[in-house]
Amino acid sequence: MQSKPMIKICGLSTPETVDAAIEAGATHIGLVHVEPSPRHVGLDQAKELRGHIKARAKVVLLLSNADAQTTGMALDAIRPDIVQFHGRETPEWTGLIREKVGVEVWKALGLRNAGTLERSAQYVGKVDRFLFDAPAPKKDDALPGGNGETFRWDLLHGHTHQVPWALAGGLTPDNVAEAIRSTGAEMVDTSSGVESAPGVKDVDLIRAFCKAALEA
């Protein structure tokens, strides 16, 4: 029987929503440092939130196509447990950060088709976890994640996972239990699925999501 899934609530920006997530059972808190995103937190704010979280949950710093300077400054300021790369980062880059910085490294992959799973093999040994997400919309101003879109979960059926993985993409309190049962996900990740407006987390939705995931 599968143990209870790990839960990541991403894009938090206030102590109140952080506390609600942890109290509801979230194991990972995501801090988004991506300026176009409505969930973006600056380094000072992220550092304060990191201090507020302490060791109550794992802190995940989300970056997307950040240059070396931005990456270094964010890692130094926030000192996350994990850095999640959500852009076009190469296996060489993720592997370098993993080796030199000594943090756990995740790579988000927009799962468009079976070919995405085949191409993910190039990251094996360069990351500690894959985050399978809905592919970003094909438009210039599209955000890399947090778009509220699901993808075909059946793409994961029968796939032999070579590294640990998490499921994201349009997960809500209403569909997370079905997603876990369908895919066998050991970790689920939500952002827009627990918001009342873009970037505005709803503590009741956070609690409902965690409850549904833990009872799946």
Give the pLDDT of residue 142: 46
Contact 106, 131 (CB under 8 A): yes
How far apart, in whole angstroms, are the C-alpha atoms of residue 39 and residue 12? 7
Amino acid at 168: A
Q: Which residues contact 5 (CB under 8 A, 6 or more apart)?
A: 180, 185, 186, 187, 188, 213, 214, 216
The reported pLDDT for the residue numbered 112 is: 87
The SS3 of residue 19 is helix
- Nearest C-alpha neighbor of 106 from the set 51, 163, 40, 188: 163
Q: pLDDT per position in the chain (216 positions), as tens?
A: 458 999 999 999 999 999 999 999 999 999 999 998 999 999 999 999 999 999 999 999 999 999 999 999 999 999 999 999 999 999 999 999 999 999 999 999 999 888 889 989 999 999 999 999 988 765 444 455 555 678 889 999 988 999 999 999 999 999 999 999 999 999 999 999 999 999 999 999 999 999 999 999
Is the whole-model pTM more than 0.85? yes
Domains defined along the chain, listed by start: 6-215 (3.20.20.70)
Side-chain half-sphere CA neighbours of 30 within 13 A = 28
15/49 Cα distance (integer angstroms): 7
Residue 148: the pLDDT is: 60
